[in-house]
Amino acid sequence: MARRSSLASRIFPFVFGLVVGAGVLYFFLPGPPQGGKVQTAQQPGAKPQPGQQGPAQPAGSTLAEVRARGYIQCGVSTGLPGFSNPDDKGNWTGIDVDFCRAVAAAVFGDASKVKYRPLNAKDRFTALQSGEVDLLSRNTTWTMSRDTSLGFDFAGVIYYDGQGFLVKKASGITSAAQLNGATICTQTGTTTELNLADYFRGQNMSYKVLPFEKNEEALSAYDNGRCDAYTTDASGLHAQRLILKTPDDHIVLPEVISKEPLGPLVRQGDPQWEDIVRWTLFALIDAEELGVTSANVDQQMTSASPEVRRLLGTEGKFGEPLGLSNGWAADALRAVGNYGEMFERNVGTKTPLGIPRGLNALWRNGGVMYAPPIR
Amino acid sequence: MRWSWTDPRMRALVWQVAALAATLVTLWYFAAMAHQNLARQHIATGFGFLDNTAGFGVVQTLIPYSEESSYGRAFLVGLCNTLLVAALGTVFAVMLGFVVGVARLSTNWLIARLATVYVETLRNIPLLLQLFFWYFAILQPLPGPRDSLTLLPGIFLSNRGIVMPAVETTPSTAAFVLCLLTAIAAAIFIGRWAKARKLRTGESFPTLIVNAVIIIGLPGLVWLIASAAFALAPPVMGKFNFEGGWRVLPEFLALLLGLTLYTAAFIAEIVRAGIQSVGRGQTEAAHALGLSSGQTLRLVTVPQALRVIVPPLTSQILNLIKNSSLAVAIGYPDLVSVFAGTVLNQTGQAIEVIAITMAVYLIISLAISFAMNLYNARVAIVGR
Ligand SMILES: N[C@@H](CCC(=O)N[C@@H](CS)C(=O)NCC(=O)O)C(=O)O
């Protein structure tokens, strides 16, 4: 007994001292880095700086962390055909997945350096906030509160969408205006839940909403007749109609009740990483405008057009401020092609989803896809 | 008491103060670190969000709620839904658990075997799977509202749940309720009086019959003389579903079924162990005194068994309450689904929302433990 207590009395002050020490240390550690400090942490071309951890970790280090790790952790959906969907071998495809690959190619020159983290609607934001993923590329709507109070920054819009309804043909419903009193299935933690409330309030109609955590559950509840309608982004409706027992028994109603600009997002406070993600997206869109494709990117290196040369890094040093090589955009384009190619390959009219470009066409072709110039 | 390291009491005191201080410092350190990190990441902090407009609908609300209500209100809605399913689940699970536990000890071979099969099946399958079974395999494939099954006249079962006529008040409701309360008070009084008289003189009094007449007769008279005390408002078929009436959601039904049946299996085992812990000699002695089997169970076995039953029963009740948070998997709007789900996601304030949710479960659990400990103290052996 006496020996026990003497052992304890030797260990305890040590532990206690450690804890108190940590507490005191906390006071003297530098506060959150602000402004200028951030920039100096990662000079253009600087070697990756692994091992910077702890509360004083300077912002601007996502790129360093990603490089040290050797791959990008990309948050995607748990399965939405055309956007991010795993096949039976675990290979991911979709426009959101292609974007992850484009960023990996821009950073590493190798599009395969990505690990996908499937996230349902409810968990995606916590995963990004906590640093579990470096980038969320998961049909996520850009809204003000997500941008301002959840601590995120959206890099742009990869797909202009809007919310719609799916109903059974047999119900005889042809317009959302006939949904007064209906029960509607949806997924929890989405903008969908809020738009639904807004729409029915605005139309002075009553409704019952049944939100499920997992999308499959919401869809199967609708399929089983627990709900009269299923609602989500129109793109999602088209994709999910295909996985119902008998797709032809269901129709998408013509009304689009909201604006859903879907885009990739990152944590706020790391301007360099944000710029990398944003300009990768812009480069993909600019490339379509300039006619640069995955097939002709190498020929275009010698193009006479200064715009193309700047994009592909044969003129100017546009990669350096991002902390990347000057061929960053060329690497991305070689891997996934330009925006138009990504669209047609994953969701376009020749795919099972069969979605026309519509709003997502280039601004020159009557859409709203428009990227600032690289210069 | 003089300060001396050799004094064990003094030493114990020092350790305790030190341990407390270390805990507080650690907690403070974590809180400060979290706060700093959140500020660095530009994530909103604080509890101000509870006043913001929720903007989403909830399918079952026991208290008034609309999309214009606040997140704080949504929290209360979720809490009420959790409490409802937990309270009903507890009552049913305890009742069913007692019945099955006693049945396991039945001398009737079939009944004992059935009870064993029940216990072994239900407690060995994960609760989440059972919930999926009730919800997706049993309740959802039911016919739609238009082809509802009729459970009782006016009560329908469909894949939208159970719908029954709403019970509404009439002008004579107040008089009826008043009469009923008076009758119950009178019955209690008569019961006491009869018991006291029996102890004093040994004479029996037909308490049961007299009280039944009073409790049924008195309010019944009001019903006859005035008018029906309640009116039934049957549901009518609307465009999509029944409108009006009272309804029980299939999500609620599945959760209640799952929680009740699962927990009852554990409670049955506790009850069986409790009854078996009472020595055979007790039963034999009771029989020798001329008590019937029923009386033996009620007056001799159960009171002693309760001492063994109550502490583990408390744990099962706490489990049931915590397991109710699986609701989110089948779309029942409980606290975790509404608050730690939708509200968390909408506001992004994970730390605050999770802290509140944990505190709620902690408080509910502590309150139940406290109540059960009081009860346990009452049934425990009183030392002489
Ligand atoms: N764009 C909406 C909704 C996005 C969303 O989560 N959609 C669902 C239904 S299409 C989905 O992708 N679910 C797949 C999953 O949970 O993995 C938002 O950002 O809130």
Residue A44: inside a domain, yes or no? no
Report if residue A100 sits inside a domain: yes
Which residue among A150, A188, A198 sits closest to B342, beta carbon to beta carbon? A188
Q: What is the DSSP letter of B177?
A: H
Which ranges of chain A would DSSP assign to H, the alpha helix? 2-28, 36-40, 62-69, 95-108, 124-129, 144-148, 191-202, 215-223, 234-241, 271-290, 297-300, 306-312, 328-336, 339-346
Q: Is A296 on the interface with B (CB under 8 A)?
A: no
B341, A189: Cβ pair inside 8 Å?
Answer: yes
Residues A285 and A155 in one domain: yes
Is it the case that residue B174 has pLDDT exceeding 90?
no
Going from the Cα of B133 to the center of ligand 1, the distance in angstroms, rounded, reads 26
Domain boundary among A206, A232, A258: A258
Q: Is A325 in the pocket of ligand 1 (CB under 6 A)?
A: no
Co-location of A183 and A207 in the same domain: yes
Q: Are A150 and A269 in a shared domain?
A: yes
Run of H or E including B231: strand B230-233
Q: Is this complex scored with an ipTM above 0.85? A: no
% of chain A at pLDDT higher than 90: 69
Domain match, A232 and A354 both: no
Band (pLDDT 50/70/90 cuts) for residue B153 is confident
Asked, for residue A45, whether it belongs to a domain, the answer is no
Regarding predicted confidence, which is higher, B231 or B361?
A: B361
Instruction: Examine the domain organization and report whether A292 and A168 are in the same domain.
Output: no
- Examine the domain organization and report whether A319 and A249 are in the same domain: no
- In eight-state DSSP terms, residue A138 is S
Instruction: Tell me which long-range contacts B104-108 makes (C-beta under 8 A, separation of at least 24).
Output: B104/B268, B104/B272, B105/B272, B105/B275, B105/B276
Is residue A81 within 6 Å of ligand 1 at its C-beta?
no
Same domain, A121 and A205: no
Higher pLDDT, A53 or A66: A66
A372 in any annotated domain: no
CA distance A195 to A273: 31
Ligand 1 mutation target, pool A76, A128, A139, A353, most atoms within 8 A of CB: A139
- Segment B338-360 shows an average pLDDT of 91
Give per-residue pLDDT as tens, B98-108: 999 999 998 89
Shortest-distance atom of ligand 1 to CA A83? 12
Radius of gyration of chain B from Cα atoms? 27
Q: How confident is the model at residue A6 (pLDDT cuts 50, 70, 90)?
A: very low
User: Rounded distance, CA B309 to CA A279, Å?
Assistant: 67
> Taking CB atoms and an 8 Å limit, are B43 and A129 in contact across chains?
yes
pLDDT at res. A60? 53
A44 against A304, higher pLDDT:
A304
Over range B40-53, report the average pLDDT: 85
Nearest chain B Cα distance for residue A266, angstroms:
11
Residue A324 lies inside a defined structural domain of this protein: yes
> Is the pLDDT at A46 greater than 70, yes or no?
no
Q: Assess whether pLDDT exceeds 60 at residue A1.
A: no
Least confident segment among A128-142, A299-313, B123-137, B189-203 = B189-203
Residues 123-182 of A with CB under 8 A from B: 125-126, 129, 145-146, 149-151, 180-182
Better pLDDT: A371 or B294: A371
Whole-number average pLDDT of chain B = 90
pLDDT band of residue A311 (cuts 50, 70, 90) is very high
Kindly report the nearest CA distance between residue B339 and chain A, in angstroms. 11
B39 vs B3, residue with greater confidence: B39
Round the average pLDDT of chain A to a whole number and report it: 85
Q: Which range marks the domain in which residue A304 is found?
A: 61-160+262-363
Q: How far is the CA of B41 from the centre of ligand 1 (A)?
A: 24
For the cut 60, the answer to whether the pLDDT of residue A25 exceeds it is: no
pLDDT at site A34: 35
Of A189, A228, A267, which has the smallest distance from its Cβ to B240's Cβ?
A228
| Cα angle A260, A294, A264; round to 5 | 25
- A61 Cβ inside 6 Å of ligand 1: no
Same domain, A269 and A299: yes
Report DSSP letters for A41-101, one per residue. TT-TTPPP-TT--STTPPTT-HHHHHHHHTSEEEEE-S-BTTTBEE-TTS-EESHHHHHHH
Residue B370 Cα distances to A147, B356, B365, angstroms:
45, 21, 8
What are the tens digits of pLDDT across the range A348-368? 999 988 899 999 999 999 999
What is the mean predicted confidence (pLDDT) over A68-78?
96
Same domain, A173 and A148: no
Q: What is the mean pLDDT of residues B343-364?
A: 92
* Assigned domain for A65 exists: yes
Among A74, A76, A77, residue to substitute to test ligand 1 (most atoms within 8 Å of Cβ): A77
Q: Which of A104-113, B202-211, B246-255 is predicted with the least confidence, judged by mean pLDDT?
A: B202-211
Total of domains in chain A: 2
pLDDT at residue B384, rounded to an integer: 52
Domain endpoint, select from A234, A258, A282 = A258
Are residues A178 and A246 part of one domain? yes
More confident residue, B48 or B116: B116
Take residue A8 and report the two structure tokens written for it: 């304890």
Q: How far is the CA of B203 from the centre of ligand 1 (A)?
A: 75
Q: Is B237 on the interface with A (CB under 8 A)?
A: no
Among residues A228, A258, A288, the one where a domain terminates is A258
Would A4 be classed as within a structural domain?
Answer: no
- Shared domain check, A170 and A128: no
Nearest CA in chain A to B336: A213
In this prediction, residue B379 carries a pLDDT of 81
Task: State if residue A192 touches ligand 1 by the CB under 6 angstroms criterion.
Answer: yes
CATH number, residue A210:
3.40.190.10
Ligand 1 atom 16: residue of nearest CA: A120
- At residue A32, the pLDDT reads 37
Same domain membership, residue A247 and residue A130? no
Going B260 to B265 to B268 to B273, the CA torsion angle's sign is negative
Question: Which residue from B minimizes the CA distance to A202?
Answer: B67
A78 domain-assigned: yes
| Residue B373 clears pLDDT 50, i.e. is over it | yes
pLDDT in tens, B208-219: 888 888 888 888
Query: Does the beta carbon of A260 sit less than 6 angstroms from any atom of ligand 1?
Result: yes
Among A35-44, B8-17, B267-276, top mean pLDDT goes to B267-276
Q: Which of A57, A183, A210 to mutate to test the interface with B (most CBs of B within 10 A)?
A: A210
Name, in order, each residue with C-beta under 8 angstroms of B358's C-beta and a sequence gap of 6 or more: none
